[in-house]
Structure 1
Amino acid sequence: MGVALIAGAGPGIGGAVAKLFASKGFQVCVARRNGGKLAPLVQAIQSNGGQCEGFSCDFRSEDSVKHLVHEVEERYGGIDIGVHNIGANIGHVPICSTTTRKFTKIWEMAALSAFLFGRELANKMETKGAGCIIFTGATASTRGGAGFSAFSSAKMAKRALAQSMARELGPKGIHVAHVIIDGVVNNPNTEEFFSNQSEEFKLRFSKMASSAGLLEPDDVAEAFWWIYNQPKSTWTHELDLRPWSEKW
């Protein structure tokens, strides 16, 4: 049916998107810096009859991204949808404790990697005049927060990149969308983070999980699938998703 490339696939949103697209008949290619960690996801998809292959890629490296996109297209043909789902959030870091190295690293993960990923896919999709690129955003994409100066500024840059690409590539038949994830995502990594903070945070996570107060990756994936299938007459550029209980 098509080829999907997902950057930043893991146990949360990226993995859920991969599983959904695979269930729809797509050849799914998932990638992250340590490709070995993708084995459980690839196996799970293949066990359910889906087509999936894992790749190692440092999305901060121009050569690595170029090589990945070229390899995927050489093996499976043109990429129909690319999802950039690299988080880059390292948690609360006061401005006075934000080193140049931390700031630069977060920008490379969130903004530079999105640029490299988007540009390489655009180069391929322009040729056929079709395609879809979705960038995963966050609450920080729209407003800064105390202790998140590096993360917020990088996510805002990613959002601006998506807007610019949408305006430039839309007339060429390429649908570019930015999805704001405004809330806590229910996945093992997030649960571990909350549990390591304090008993209070652990209980807070459990309470949110039991009351539909967390963003469920499978439900988010359905939104990505909806965006991909939109007709040209009603393209969405930005979609914000949050649990019913999230304050905004």
Structure 2
Amino acid sequence: MQIDKGKVALVVGAGASAGIGGAIARRAAAEGLHVFVAGRTQEKLDALVSEIEAAGGKATAIVADTTQADDVARMFDVAEKEAGLPDLVIYNAGNNRFSPLTEMSDSFFEDLWRLCAFGGFLVGREMARRVLPEGDGVRDTQATLIFTGATASMRARPPFTAFASAKAAERALAHGMAREFGKRGLHVAHAVIDGIVDGNQVRSRLPEYLDAKGEDGGLNPDAVADAYWTLHMQNQTTWTLEMDLRPAKEEF
């Protein structure tokens, strides 16, 4: 099978520029792809698009709720109409919220599951339906779907039990999709982000925790983006289903 990086990328859960989603969007744009960045906040998306365009890249913002099937279909519709079907899709949506189990509301637990697992299902299903040939046909070029996981994808510790159950379900989704669609030309991968990301979210909410990690104690978003791009460009004889990324000094 030919290795083809394609022309269109969709980053779901792009978020702030200084984060994994923003870094992946910038990297894909630098490689010449038209990048569609999707999320719930217009202001953040517009800032990221402006940054990419200022660097000479192509980007389009799509405000959408990834837990709604109609919104997910619309993301792909917008990309296809403007530039073509995305053959690189990143599912980066997630919200690491925590609560003691006995104080947790039903909606708290369900909302985390909907964002991580159900939203991932909707995006994965939509991509498979659109990029794979009908029936059991095989693509003649490579397409890639990468799910952003977390330490919690692998183990549950209170007070992150709800988040862990949602991320574990997302991981299972990625594994199932990889086994179902890999032989047809859709490379599905799951990246375990095992550590704290040195990005805008942590810098604004938990700067002391990140500082306590010391120099290079957090994952560099641009380095994460490099690893994701490597996954996308892998030859089909050496596809990776799962990789874990962590700082050298992180205990594991």
The TM-score with structure 1 as length reference comes to 0.93
Alignment deviations for residues 197-240 of structure 1 (CA, whole Å, 9 cap, x no partner):
xxxxx1x42242x4211000000000000000000000000000
User: What's 1:110 paired with?
Assistant: 116
User: What percent of counterpart residues are identical?
Assistant: 40
Matched, 1:152 2:164: yes
Moved over 6 A (4+): none
Alignment deviations for residues 52-89 of structure 1 (CA, whole Å, 9 cap, x no partner):
11110100001110111122112111211000001221
Matched, 1:194 2:206: yes
How many Å separate the matches in 2 of 1:206 and 1:150?
27
Secondary structure of the corresponding residue to residue 211 of structure 1: coil
Secondary structure of the corresponding residue to residue 31 of structure 1: strand
Matched, 1:232 2:236: yes
- Is the 1:35–1:57 contact (alpha carbons within 8 Å) kept by the matching residues of 2? no
After TM superposition, give the deviation of residue 35 of structure 1 in Å: 2.7
Matched, 1:34 2:34: no
User: Which of 196, 219, 224 is the matching residue for 2:223?
Assistant: 219
Matched, 1:85 2:97: no
Higher helix share: 1
After TM superposition, give the deviation of residue 37 of structure 1 in Å: 2.1
User: What's 1:199 paired with?
Assistant: none
User: What's 1:205 paired with?
Assistant: 210
- Is the 2:76–2:85 contact (alpha carbons within 8 Å) kept by the matching residues of 1? no
Alignment deviations for residues 100-136 of structure 1 (CA, whole Å, 9 cap, x no partner):
0100111111111000011001111112724110000
For structure 1, the 5+ residue unaligned runs are 196-201
Alignment deviations for residues 125-164 of structure 1 (CA, whole Å, 9 cap, x no partner):
1127241100000000011111112100000000000000
How many Å separate the matches in 2 of 1:35 and 1:232?
37
Q: Amino acid of the residue matched to residue 174 of structure 1?
A: L
User: What's 1:66 paired with?
Assistant: 73
After TM superposition, give the deviation of residue 194 of structure 1 in Å: 1.0
- Is the 1:213–1:246 contact (alpha carbons within 8 Å) kept by the matching residues of 2? yes
Secondary structure of the corresponding residue to residue 109 of structure 2: helix
How many Å separate the matches in 1 of 2:91 and 2:25?
12
Secondary structure of the corresponding residue to residue 68 of structure 1: helix
User: What's 1:75 paired with?
Assistant: 82
How many Å separate the matches in 2 of 1:35 and 1:225?
26
Q: Amino acid of the residue matched to residue 189 of structure 1?
A: Q
For structure 2, the 5+ residue unaligned runs are 1-5
